[in-house]
Each structure stands twice: as structure tokens, then as C-alpha cells.
Chains A and B, each alone.
Chain A
Amino acid sequence: MSEPKRLHPIAVLLNIIKSIKELVIPFLLVIVIPGKNEGIPGWIQPLVIAIIVLFLIVHAFIQWLRFTYRMEDGEFRIESGVFVRKKRYIKFDRIHSIDISEGIIQRLFRLVKLNIETAGGAQADAVLSAIRKSEAERINTFISEEKNKKTNGLLEKEIDAGAGNEELANSSSVFKQTLPQLFVMAATSGAVGVFLSGGIAFISQFDEIIPFNRIFKDYEDFIGMGTVILTVFAILGLLVVYVLATLSMVIKYASFTVLKTDEELIISRGLLEKRQLTIPIHKIQGIRIMENFVRKPMGLATVYLEYAGGSMEDKESLSIMLFPLIKKKYLHGKIQEILPVYQTSTKMNSLPRRAFSRYVSRGILYIVPIIGVSVWFFKPWGFLSLLLVPLAGFWAYMRYRDAGWSIEGDLLLLSSCFFSKQTLIMQRSRIQSITYKKSWFQNRKELATISASIKSGVTSRVGRVVDVEEEDCLIIKSWYLPKKAADSQ
């Protein structure tokens, strides 16, 4: 298929929308600022706007006209540009994943958006903003066919049929998120954080209301009433925000499904905007299990994939959920089913007892400034902040208990906790470097901080455990080093 093709004409509309988004600020400048200037004749403003709109439309149209794509010589070739002609050729080998999504506009016209992602580089990504579904499938199969031809002659016959259905036939659905689970997931996500921090911010307002009361003694009743009404409204407002945030997350992750083919994971989700993400299994660098403080007591966890690819512009491709919400007891079975390489037991080596006091003192160090400030500025009530001390102690205990490491065959597990417990599972061959460091205080207790980096998206993900036994660092180090070197020392 070497003849150049254009996108669906609806791309013109998408181009217009995109440039409007980019031009919002200059647009506002034109519309708002002259509105206050009396000197300029009234007809100038509509004229300027009309010219801009006309320009946008013409620009979008030419953009569409000039944008062609074709596949030849093992490359995906895009030629585009209005003022500057651009030619972007991407080798099939370099393509990491093909991501198909449908925005609202695309859905109206039964089109899809196709994203071609390459390793790391923010530049080389190709976006076909509006093409037919069948065309997207054709591109997808064509590219994977070509790639397989090169890398593996044996797999050829499998994809010979070339239809998208074929691919789905030999894949199996391995994970589905049910709707009730999804609600729990959305309700216990960061939205809770917004809710709680909003609540705390509101309660802290009382400090300001108290001296207020003292000054306007006459209006005490009125202000008292006002406080009650304010409280009710604020709580209602927070509830609304919370419910909205939860609903929007449910919509975003609705019908979350993970499919597994021989070499790829296909993750699809979304109600209004459907997204489909194809991830080659061999690009996966590690697995991250997150348990935030709400989900942890319920035995629930979220699992992310760390994978080398994605682009800077598309933030969502950088942190990919594998399981939005899963019961911890099923987790290891599920991981084994999808990615057998990352099969682990749950046992972790915990930190030595003497590390605990360091966790506590660090936890208290964090809150000393808070206590200092509140005692100093809010004289009688500020002492309430001393209640933070046992809280900090408890928090320190949680972090101490959740920290740990483990080596199982070729896997390194590092877990630590700040507000959420994070467990990073890494293959030895994917770890880019290992660092361990010890401060003077740690040295005295023979403890050290260990960290391991893997590639994730365009940057890196670092697993770090503070205050592990120094000897354990040496164990991890010798596990990590190539065998020959370890023997020769």
C-alpha cells in the first residue's frame, strides 16, 4: 500500500478545534482587551475576529490537504505542513505501540484516532487524528505483519489472514473490571484526597473565625448562624466535587479490559472516549503495585505497568494501569496469568528493628515545623497540633512496616511507603543501575538506602528503600552484578 492517503475530512474540524485550543490566549487578548479601549472603532474587533476565524479554517483545510500518510519500504511515512513541509519517516522496527482511541467527535462519525508511538523520543510520534476504523485495523495488522516478517518468520502464517478479527481470536480476555469494582476504585482514588484535604482546609478556617467572633461581638448570633450555613454549604460543595470526581473516573475507566495475545497486551477502556492501548510484552520494564491508605485496609491494590515507550505529550501513556483495582489475594495469580515472568510470592524481607527509631525520628522531623508555626501563631489552639505527634509516630510505624525488599530468582522487589505503599517488581535484566548510600547516622547503625532504576516512559522509575541492613545491600549488589565479576573479587 504505497499510494499516499489523506485523513477523513472531519480532520479539518479537529484541526480547527486544536488550533483554537492553542490560540485561546491570543484570542482572549483580541476580544477582551479592545473591549475596554474606547478609541478603536467598533467594527475593527469583529473584523479581526472574522479574519482570524477565516484564517483558522483555511489553515486547517490546507493542513488536511497536505497531510498524507503511506507505508512503504518498511517505513510509515507522513508528509505534512502548511508553511514548513515536514516529512516524517518512521521505521516499523522503531514502532513501540499503536494506540487507538475515539474522542466524542470521532465517535459521531464512526472514526478513530491512531497514535503511533516510538521509544522515548518526543518527536517521532505520529498521530492520525481521524481515520476509518477498518483503515486503522488495516494499518495495525500491516505494521505488525511487517514487523513479524522481519523478526520472526515463523509467526507469518498466523497473521496471513490479515483481518483484525484474527488477532482477537487467538487472544484471551484475562482481566475485566466490573462496574461495582470500578465504583469502589473511583471512590477510593485521589478524589478522596481532594475531599479530605478540602475538609481539613475548611476546618482550619475556624481558626480565623474565632478572633472574628471576638471583634464583632454584637453580631455573634448572626455569625454563628453564618458559620453553620457556611459549614453545611462547604460540606455539600465538597460532596458534590467528590461525587463528580468519582463519576468522571468511572466514565474514564468504564469497561476496562485487558486482552493478551502472544506478544502484546491490549488494554481498552472508556465510555465517552474509548481508548485502546497496545503494549508489546517485551517492552515492559517492571510492575508497580500501589496500595493507598484507603484501599490498603480493604485489601485492595492498583497495578501499573512500567514500560519503555509512550510520549511526553500523552501523559496517560506514561503510567499505564494494568489492574485499576484488584483484591490483593488474587493479585499474584492474575499477574502470573498475564505476565508469568513477574510471578512472585508475597514474602518480603523486612527492615531490622534498629531502623524503626530512624523512621520515627524522621517522621517527627517532618512535623516539627508545622507544630512550631501553629504554636507560635495560633496561641491557645496551636497546641492542638501536638496531637500530630502520635499520628506521626503511627505513620512512621506504617512506613517502617511496609518497607522491605526481596530477591526471587531474577526478580528484585522493593517496597516502601509514603502515603501509599509502593511495591516495584523488577527483572534483573531491566535494572539500569543500582545505588546505595549511607549517611553518617546510617553508617553508625550499619544501615543504608538502596535504590534501583528502571526505564519508564521517557524517564525512569526509581525504587528506593530507606534503612535496609547494610549487609543486605551487599547481597543485592552481588545479585545484580554479572556473575563473572562477582567471582573474580
Chain B
Amino acid sequence: MVPENRISNKALTVWKISGLIGCSITWIISIAILVLTIIFDWTYWFFGALIIISIIQAYLTIFLMPSVKWKRWRYEVRNTEIDIQSGIFVIRRTLIPMIRVQHVETKQGPLLRKYDLASVEISTAATMHVIPALDLAEADELRHYISRMASVEEEDV
């Protein structure tokens, strides 16, 4: 059984934008190389390779990966545990029992804020898990819910 809930579909837009930002860095480098190539009369091989790399990168980070990632991302918060599925090429399932949760927080970067999203970070004594890009209201609710359920007993650690 796969976890029930998907993350907000606005996450797709956010990931595409951050992919775009990543690509623009490669493009700037390519342009700089092009200018240098023209000035110093270098071979065009280098520039050509960069162009191919940036096209592949654009396809992967703007189109393919966000949608695969979004399709894969599932989570479910049950009474006693949190179940998370993520991954692009590798499917990853994580289980966190509620009693192990030490604290929960929501976080908003500038990009997430623009789209009214937030990510939820769940920390145990030893590990940290993130559910990215939920609707702000949903994220707040989740944070409250988890922190209410996670009545960490005064156990060691």
C-alpha cells in the first residue's frame, strides 16, 4: 500500500522554476565561454559540449525530473507513524514512529512563499525528514497534528 497523500501540485511549478534557475547558471557560463572562444580564438568543441550539456540539463531538471518526482512523492501521517515515499530513479520509503519524533517545523523559502506553500521538517533524535511543498494551511495543520501526536515520552535521547 502506497501512502495516500500527494504534495501540492503547485510544487511542480516551484521545482520547474528552481530547475530554470539552475539552468540559467549553466547558460551564463556557456555564454561566457562563447565570448572567450570568440575573443581568444579557441576551438569551438568546448562550447559545443557545454551547449549539449545545458540542453540535457534543461530537459532533465525543468521537464522530466519535477514531474517524476511529483508523481512519486507520497506521504501519510497515521496515528502511530509517518510514512513517506520519495525518489526519482530510486524509490525510497521511510517510516518514522510518532513516539520518535522530537520536533516538527514548517519552513518557507521565498519561492515557496510566493506560491503560498511550505515544507514540513520532521526531526527525530538522529535523523531529519522533509515533506516539501505543501499548501501553507495544510502544512500548518500537519505540524500541529504531528506535534500533538508525538508526545515524546521522557525517554533517553
Contact = CB atoms under 8 A, between A and B. Distances in A.
Asked if A and B are interacting partners, one says yes
Interface of A: 119, 282-283, 285, 308, 429-440, 443, 453-456, 459-461, 477, 480-482, 484-485, 489
A435 B81 contact: no
Q: Which 7 A-B pairs have the closest CB atoms?
A: A460-B126, A437-B92, A455-B126, A432-B124, A432-B126, A435-B94, A485-B80
Contacts of A429: 155
Contacts of A435: 92-95
Given A438-B90, A481-B95, A489-B1, A283 B80 contact: no
B91 A454 contact: no
Interface string B62-100: 000000000000000011110000010111111111011
Nearest to A473: B93
B94 A308 contact: no
Contacts of A433: 94-97, 100, 124, 126-127, 129
A433 B99 CA distance: 11
A464 to B, nearest CB: 12
Given A481-B81, A485-B79, A434 B94 contact: yes
Contacts of A461: 126
B52 interface: no
Contacts of B87: 437
Given A437-B90, A440-B89, A432 B95 contact: no
A166 B91 CA distance: 56
A460 B96 CA distance: 15
Given A437-B87, A453-B127, A481-B80, A285 B95 contact: no
Interface of B: 1, 78-81, 87, 89-97, 99-100, 124-127, 129, 155-157
Contacts of A460: 125-127
Contacts of B129: 433
Contacts of A477: 93, 95
Contacts of B95: 433-435, 477, 480-481
Contacts of B81: 481-482, 485
A436 B93 contact: yes
Contacts of B78: 485
Contacts of A443: 91
Contacts of A440: 89-90
Given A433-B96, A438-B91, A477-B95, A484 B126 contact: no
A481 B97 contact: yes
A283 B157 CA distance: 7
Given A433-B100, A438-B90, 7 more contacts: A285-B157, A308-B157, A430-B157, A432-B126, A436-B92, A455-B126, A482-B99
Nearest to A436: B93
Contacts of B155: 429
Nearest to A434: B95
A187 B155 CA distance: 41
Contacts of A456: 126
Nearest to A283: B156
B126 A459 contact: yes
A432 B93 contact: no
A436 B127 CA distance: 15
B90 A455 contact: no
Nearest to B94: A435
Nearest to B98: A482
A432 B91 contact: no
A461 B157 CA distance: 14
Contact of A437 (B79, B91, B125): B91
Contacts of A438: 90-91
Nearest to A456: B126
29 contacts: A119-B157, A283-B157, A285-B157, A429-B155, A432-B96, A432-B125, A432-B126, A433-B94, A433-B96, A433-B97, A433-B100, A433-B124, A433-B127, A433-B129, A437-B87, A439-B90, A439-B91, A443-B91, A453-B124, A453-B126, A454-B126, A459-B126, A477-B95, A481-B97, A482-B81, A482-B97, A485-B78, A485-B79, A485-B80
Contacts of B99: 482
A485 B3 CA distance: 14
Nearest to B157: A308
A73 B144 CA distance: 35
A455 B94 CA distance: 16
A455 B157 contact: yes
Contacts of A437: 87, 90-93
Contacts of B127: 432-433, 453, 460
B97 to A, nearest CB: 6
